[in-house]
Amino acid sequence: MFVARSLGLALLLFAPCCYTQTVSPVIVEYKVKAEGRIALTNNTLTQMAVVVEPRSFSIAPDGNGTYRPLDPGIHVQLSSMSFRIDPGQTYYVFYKAKADKLPAWFTLYSTFSSVQHTSGLDVRILLPHTVYIYPKKPLGQGNAVQVTHVSYSPRTKKIVCDLENNSPDLDRIQEVAILSGGKSISAPGFPMLPGGRRRLEVAWNESGPPETIQFQLQHARLKVPIVLDDQKGLSTLGTAQ
């Protein structure tokens, strides 16, 4: 198994080469079953060998993803798993996926490596395409995601927020917004797997304290007041609007 930071974003292992290969799209969502394609582009001046491998993953509260071999209950068919891409060309991989139990999720990891081996270190770049498959209807009752704690520390100038998903449903935070009067900042979204927890830390560098944190979900919006970390009653539940 290996761990990657910021699941759902392209994993760029070697920064000097980070702009030379791309996989698109990065995240897709389906209902009941998946059927799609990914575009892999080689923007280098040399031919690249590519290997595509489906993997399952879990997410720790700090947002790190741990990858493992594909779970046996998820079935993925790929049009190609190993190929070469000429300079400046794009190669398409088509896939179909279904799962014995929904919701389900997995990542297609594409490993790029140059076919021209040198005497130095051979660089490999891994780029993900993450797939989420939802059931036709939600399995649980009400909103899957709850905010259990949110506070702001004037000393560290950080907002700390804890979220939980105690339902059997998969949900995604599509966007995070922090508001104070007419000022606002945003943070990227992230998945909330069934039974998952997430701790979110966001820097706040405005002059006044933040007032509200807002989470945009697929079918609801959570809006929670932010309290100072030296006040009592820090824990609060977000309510959907």
pLDDT for the residue 117? 72
Query: What is the per-residue pLDDT for 199?
Result: 96
pTM, rounded to two decimals: 0.82
Please say whether the beta carbons of 93 and 78 come within 8 A.
yes
Residue extent(s) of CATH 2.60.40.10 domains in the chain = 2-134
What was the pLDDT predicted at 141? 67
For the segment(s) 145-236, the CATH number from 3.90.70, 1.10.3470, 2.60.40, 3.40.50 is 2.60.40
CA–CA separation, 126 vs 186, rounded Å?
27
Classify 195 in phi/psi space as left (phi over 0), alpha (psi -120 to 50) or beta. Answer: left
Return d(Cα 180, Cα 189) in angstroms, integer: 20
At 118 the pLDDT is 67
**Residue 68, both tokens:** 């493992």
pLDDT band at 138 (very low <50, low <70, confident <90, very high): confident
pLDDT band at 57 (very low <50, low <70, confident <90, very high): very high
Of 199, 137, 141, give the one whose Cα is nearest residue 166. 141
Task: Return the CATH number of the domain spanning residue range 2-134.
Answer: 2.60.40.10
> What's residue 17's pLDDT?
41
pLDDT in tens, 107-129: 999 999 988 876 666 678 999 99
Averaged pLDDT for residues 176-183: 91
Task: State residue 152's pLDDT score.
Answer: 95
Q: What is the mean pLDDT of residues 157-181?
A: 93
